[in-house]
Structure 1
Amino acid sequence: MRRHRRPRAQQHGQGRPASRRIPQGTTQPRGRLHRHARQGEHTASHAAVADQLGKPLEPERWRGNIWLDGLPPWAEWDWIGRDIRIGAVTLRIQERIARCAHTAASPETGLRDADTLGALRDGWTHTDFGVYAAVMTGGRIALGDELEVL
């Protein structure tokens, strides 16, 4: 039986040069989540789209609130209708996020420089990336918290 690493929350921009990270105080990995819809994306899906395009992509294009690491691409879609727990927070995964042309624009220049929708369509016959989630139990999420599918 093959063992997989447990998925962990990842800080948005982690592994990027300091000049490209989100400034401290803008989006903190130790924030509180309140009862509002959130977006969840994960790094393997992002890497798959970048590979399909044949060039690196900034994760900021997807405007995700929570990024997960350690899962196969699109794994979060299997959780639709289910609850997950990260740290003290419980989220109910609601639906896939259909993406718009905004993701084709560079977060630095605002110019469209990557056909993200075309890459999704050509590689996987859809234009979805990430999932919407509702906060069922608010609390803290910290960098490195494990994800548990309930």
Structure 2
Amino acid sequence: MERQEDPPAPLDMARFRPNLVIDGAPPYAEDDWREIRIGPLAFRVSERCDRCAVPTYDPVTLEKGKEPLRTLARHRRWDGRTWFGIRLIPRGRGELRLGDPVTVLA
């Protein structure tokens, strides 16, 4: 860490306001995905998702901090943006359920 700082405390996933969270993949594995299946539905990856400042606010206390953007920017900053996650386009209609298996198709 810079200036002998302690590492930041883990943040709750709610801080990121995700639509889907995929458990069990290595960090940033989604960077190489082009198409995935979640349960019965196929999705194509449309683009990477840049992060706005919203995750710097605690959703309960509304306190603003530097994390997680400061840490993300150390590892995932290019084109003047900080990147985190991907945007998916469904290839059909259906319903996702908690615990659906995830398969990388391409």
TM-score normalised by structure 1 residue count: 0.59
Corresponding position of 1:86? 38
Out of 84, 91, 99, which is 1:129 matched to? 84
Separation of aligned partners in 1, 2:76 and 2:97: 34
Which structure has the highest helix share of the two?
A: 1
Offset at 1:55? Answer: 0.2
1-structure distance, mates of 2:93, 2:40: 7
Gaps of 5+ in 1: 1-51
Q: Percent identity?
A: 39
Match of 2:99 in 1: 144
Aligned partners of 2:76 and 2:84 also within 8 Å: no
Runs of 4+, deviation exceeding 6 Å: none
Distance 1:58 1:149 in 2: 26
C-alpha separation between the residues in 2 aligned to 1:111 and 1:88? Answer: 39
Contact 1:87-1:146 at 8 Å conserved across structures? yes
* Structure 2, gaps ≥5 residues long: 1-5
TM-score, normalization by structure 2 = 0.81
Task: Give 1:1-150 correspondences, 5 Å limit.
Answer: 53-79=7-33, 82-122=34-74, 124-126=75-77, 127-150=82-105
Write the distance in 2 (CA, Å) between the matches of 1:97 and 1:53.
25
**One-letter code aligned to 2:58:** S
* Pairs aligned (count): 96
Contact 1:90–1:136 (8 Å) recurs in 2: yes
Check the 8 A contact 1:58/1:107 in 2, yes or no.
no
* Letter paired with 1:92: R
SS for the counterpart of 2:73 is helix
